[in-house]
Structure 1
C-alpha cells in the first residue's frame, strides 16, 4: 500500500511542479501526456487494490477527478498550440536529434509543396540543397555545443517537385531541465522573390554603372536637397572642363548662367511631383563659354539620398543651324530685313501691346519710284545692290524699336510702335529726305524716290490685315498724287478712288465662273534635238471693253480676293483638256502651269490636281508645275509638303525665274524639283554682259550638278541661243523661237517642226 501512495504522491508532485520545467510547448505536451498516463495507471491500480477501503477510495476518487481535469486542460492547451502552430504565417519545421522531421506546420508544407503530414519522417537533408548541408551541419554543432543560442542561415531548399526556393531560416534547439537537447526548431521564410529582386537590382545597378560611365553624353547625379554633385561621368568631365574632384565640390547652379537659374529651380521643384522631365537650357563651361543643351532628368535614390539623374546633350551646333533656318524663313535673303511673315507676326504683337496699353501705332508701306528703270537699265545685279542700300538707309533713319521689312520686289513696310499721326508723318519726312541723297552702286550714282502710305491703329483698323490693306491704299494714293510730299495718310474717302479696281474684281470673278479666260502656249525647244515636247500655258483675259488685260494686273487681284484657287483650277482644267486633245492628235506634248504662293498653302491642291488628271484621262507625267523662288520661300515647310505630294504623283516640278529669289541652295537640294528656269533678265543680256553670261553658265552647271533639267527663258536673238547651246543648256524658250500662241496655232507650228525634223 505505501509504495502505491508514494507513487501517486510523486506523480501529483510532478504534476504540481509541471509549470517549473523550462520546456517548449511541444515538449510540455509530450511530457504532460506521460505524467497523466502514469497517474491514471497508478490511481486505477490503487483503486482496485483498495476498493474495500472507503476513505482511501474517496481520496483516490478525488485525485482521479483532479487528474482528469488537468488532462482536459492539457488537451485544450494542445489544441490552442496546434491552431497557432498551423496558422503561423511562416514555416515551422521540428526535427528530432537524428535530424528527422517530426512535425511541420501548414506554411512549411505549402512552401515545399507537400501534402499535410508528408514531411514527417523525412530527414532535413532531403529538403536541403546539397551545397548548403555542410554549412548547416557546422552551425548545428556549434548549437549543440551551446557556443551559440541560435543561428540564421540563407539557403536553398528542395520542393517536392524538385524545384528550388531560397529560404531564410532561424534555427534553435529545445533543451530539457537536465540540459539534454530534445529536438530542433527551424523558423523558415521563403525569400525567393526577395532574392530575385535583389539580383535584379544588382543587375540594374551594374547596367546603370555601365550606361553612366560609358555614355557618350554628359551625365551626373545631384542631391535634390543640397543641389551638390554626387557623381559625374567622364564625358561631362571632358566637355565641361572641370576635373571630377572639382565637379563633386560644386553645385549644379555653378554651371548655369544666371538668367537660367530660376528655370532650373522650377525644374528641381517639379521633381517632387514628377519623376522625369525634359527641357532646353544653357550651361557654362569652365572656360566661360556657354553651350545649348537638351536635358533629360529622372528622380532616383542614390547612396541613401533623394537625387536626380541628369543626361545632357550638347545641341549648340543644331541650335545654331535651327536659328539660321529660322532666320532664313523669317528674313529677306537679299537685305537681311524681316520678311512678310515676320512683319505680320511683329505687327500682331505690337497691336496687342497697343491694345493693352491704350496707345496707338503706325504702319507704313513704301514703294520705290524709279526702281524699274534701274533694273531695266543696269540689270538686276545693280537693282539688288540698290535694295540692300535702301534697307540700310531706312534702318539708319529710324529708331531701333521700329521694324523695317521687305515685302518683296521694291516694296518695304515699317512698324512704328507707340506712334500717332504726327510722329508717323515726321518719320516719313525723314525717310523721304534721306532719299534725296543718291545711292552709289558700283561707282554709279542712282536716284530713286519713295511713295509712302500710312495707316494708324486703332483709327484705321484694329488687326494686321486691315492695317496692311489700308496702308496699301494710302500708298497708291501718294503714288498717284505725284507731288513733292510723296506720302498719304489713309482716310475712308480714299477707297472711293478705286471703283475701277472694285469693278475689275467683280468682272474677274464673272470671267472665271463663265470661263471667259483663255490660254496661250509657248513652246520649249530642246537645244540638242530641236524637238518640242513641252509647252508653258499662259492665262489671258480679253475684256469686252478694256481689251487684253495682262496677267500681272488680274492674277494679283485673284490672290488678294481669294479667287486664285478658282483661277488656278480653271487654268489647269483648260490645259489638261488641251493636252488630251493633242495626245489624240498624235502630239506627245506635256503642259506646264504656273502656281502662286496661295496655291502652295492649300493642302487640298494635290487631290484636286489628281481629280482633274483622272477626269481628262491625262497621265501625271504630262503635267508640269512652275513656281517662282519667292513663292517657295513664302512658306517653305508647306510648299515642301504640297510639292512632294505632287511630285510623288508624277507631276514635274520646275522653279521659274531662277536666280531672282535668293532661295537657299540647301533648301533647293531638298525640294522635289525636276527643272530650273533661268530668269529672262540674265538671258537677254548675256551676249553683251559678261556678268550675266557667267551667271547663266553657273546656273546651268548648278542645275546639272543637282541632276536637274535647265531651261533658259527670254531667248531674243541668235547670239543668246548659240551661247546657251555652248553652255550646255537643255531647253530654251523665248520670242526668238516662238511667241505664246493659241492651241490651234501651236498644232500648226508643231506640224511644221515635225516636217523640218524629217526633212
Structure 2
C-alpha cells in the first residue's frame, strides 16, 4: 500500500505511543500501525495496512471500552481501548492487560496446572483453546502445541465434541452448573473413554461469558469394573437359580422345593398302597409373618424363614422330607409314620419361637405374635392308590385345610 504524506506523519506520531495503536481512514481501512502493535499482535505494518481491522484483529471496538482481540497466532489479547477521531481518521489505542504481575500470575497458574492429574482445558467464548495441561494431553492423546489457539473440536475425533462444548456453554451462560457429567468418546488414537466432566465459567469485566475451564477425569476403569461386577452378579444369580432347580431345593431355606416334595409324597403314597404302611403329612404355617415383613422389611422376614426351616429339619426323622409350599408355608412327608408319631413331631414344631425376640421399635399395635400353626393328616387308602396328580393334590389340600381351620378357630 502506498502511503501519502499524512499517513506517514500519522504513523510517526503513533510510534510514540507505548501501547498498540492504529488508525483507519474514511473507508474504514487501516492507514497507520505503530511499533507496539507489531510487537503485541505479531503483524507487520506492511501486512495490515489497507485492510479492514476486523479482518486482522477480530471484533474491533468503535467506542471506548474493553476489547477482546486476536494476535497473529489466534491468541487472545484483552484490554481496554481508547478511541478518538482526528479529521477523517479514527485512532484506537489499546492498553493490553499483560503487565508483569499478570504474566507472572499466568505462568504460576500454568505451572500449577501441569502438576494436576486431571485434564484441564481453558477455552474462550468462541471455543478456542487457550490452555491445555499435560493431564489433558495424556487423557485426550493430543499435544498442547497443536491445539492452543485453535478450536477445541480437535480434542477428540467424535463429531459430538462440538455438541458437548455447546451444551457446556449453554448451561454456563444460563447460570447453571456443570458437574459430574459423564461423556463417552473415542480419542484420536482409537481409545474409547468415559470421562467425568466439570466446567467453570469465566467472565469478562462486564460479567459476560468469556469462556470456561473444562476439567475431565477418566472414570473408564471404574465403569468397566462396575460392569464386570454386574455381569458377575448376574452370572452367580443365574448359577444359583440353575443349581436350585437342578437339586429341587428352595434357594432361601434349603428345604425341598414344591416339585421335589410332591415327588417324595407320590413315592410314599405308592409304597403305602403296596405294603399298607401309614403315610402322614405335616403342614406348618408361620403366624404373624406378614407383619414382620411390613414392620421390619423383607430381610427380617427371610431370616425368620431360614431359622424356622432349620428348626423344622432338626425335628424330623431321617426318612422325612421337608419342603416349602409358599411364602411362609411348609410341608413334611412322613413315610412309615402313624398319627401318634406325627403328632409328637408336630408338638416339637409348634414349640418353635424366633431365635431372638423381635425389637419393639417398628412394630404396630395390631401385629400378631410370631409363632407357628401345625396341621397333620394321614393319607387314606384311596389317596394312596390314586394317580400321581390326584392323590398328591388331595393330601396336600386336606393338610392345608387343617392348618386354616386351626387358624380360624383361634
TM-score by shorter chain over 0.5: no
What's the TM-score once normalised by structure 1's chain length?
0.21
Question: Which of 1 and 2 has greater Rg?
Answer: 1
RCO higher in structure (CA 8 A, sep ≥6) = 2
Q: Which has the higher helix share?
A: 1
